[in-house]
Amino acid sequence: MLILVRRFTAVFFCLAAITGCSLPRGAALQSEVLSAREDANAEFALYPVTRALLPSISQWPHVGAPGLEWIAASQGANGQVIRSGDAVTLTIWDSDPNSLIVPVEGRQTVLQNLLVSPAGSIFVPYIGTVRIAGHSPQRAREIVQDAMGAVAGSAQVQLALAQGRANSVELVGGVRNAGAFPMPDRNYTVLSLIAAGGGVEGSLANPQIRLQRGSRVFGTSISRLYAEPNLDTLLQSGDQVIVKEDDRYFLSVGAAGREALHPFTKDVLSAMDAVSIIGGIQDGRADPKGILILRDYPTDALAAGMRGPRKQQVIFAIDLTSADGLFSARKFQMMPGDLVYVTESPVTSTQTIFGLVGSAFGLANRVIN
């Protein structure tokens, strides 16, 4: 009898010690995270992700930097066009022994690196200024030839063009060979320039294209240009093309396969894509009914007349055990800065308690013996 009393007392104190301690867990239960949802003063709004709700969510404001516009492709001239800052070399032949252009001892003369002025003209001796900017090299040769007819009617002119900075485009970062590239013709496109630079570096996640044209910036992704050739826009002199990694990201914590910061791997990322990127959920720990996506909306998303959430802080709940939840997760669009929180399964806590109770009985037996 005394042994039973001692055993009961030992078990009692062990269980008391268990109840007085927090259970070891890696994440909260869904009920714990959402415990304040019924409170009228709750700081967040809860939305279960269903196919019925998706059309409304798609009309809410996007989170993160505003999307950039892009320019549709168009057709350009196949030839080159002379611009200010280019340099031309004129080779002149004249068989007239009294020619003012060609010296007596030679049959030709070469006027090298005649710089095209900001006004678009070059200076030719005995002729004066000749405007050639805006013309193709062939047409510019004809213009110089016609102007020369007044002083050397039998002279023949050849023109060679060396393009200047104003007739080139720049490729910056994200490629094997960045730098300035002269435009071979007016049909020079973004993808042509990237190919000239050796192609996009393979280490970039979802490479983005930024086109700086004057004071405006246009943007899209390289995958979109590949998929939609009609968006391979023509370049203009002075354009700057920047290839960079997509800087958008989301985070994962809790009973996720990986707790980390994850870059966006494509332009539009779904919740199911995000679950795959984080390595799924931990077997035996995670609650597949409790996948929570936490998002902060800007204050203007709550403005009167604006379709948006009820609160700035929003929790979207996804149930991966139902067909509706699975299909909805494939359509739900992730936003930059979203937090994927995988809650703990209630079964895990129960198993932990039983394990601790079993350990308590074992400890009690050792104390008595």
* Tens digit of each residue's pLDDT (9 = 90 or more) over 12-69: 555 455 455 555 556 788 888 888 776 767 889 999 999 999 999 999 998 987 778 9
Where residue 279 falls among pLDDT bands split at 50, 70, 90?
very high
- One-character DSSP codes across 319-367: -TTSHHHHHHHHHPBP-TT-EEEEEEPHHHHHHHHHHHHHHHHHHHHHH
Most confident of 7-21, 146-160, 218-232: 218-232
pLDDT at site 94: 87
What pLDDT is recorded for position 275? 96
Q: Which residues pair with 209 in a beta bridge?
A: 220, 243
Give the residue, 105 or 365, on which the prediction is more confident. 105
What is residue 321's predicted lDDT score, i.e. its pLDDT? Answer: 94
Task: Please give the share of the chain, as a percent, with pLDDT higher than 70.
Answer: 84
pLDDT band at 141 (very low <50, low <70, confident <90, very high): very high
- The mean-pLDDT minimum among 4-18, 47-61, 258-272 falls in 4-18
pLDDT classification of 186: cutoffs 50, 70, 90: confident
Tokens in use for 260? 């980390």
Q: For residue 352, what are the contacts with CB-CB under 8 A and spacing of at least 6?
A: 23, 24, 25
Task: Report pLDDT for 8.
Answer: 52
**pLDDT mean over 106-126:** 90
Average pLDDT over residues 77-91: 85
User: Which of 133, 130, 129 lies closest to 120, judged by CA?
Assistant: 133
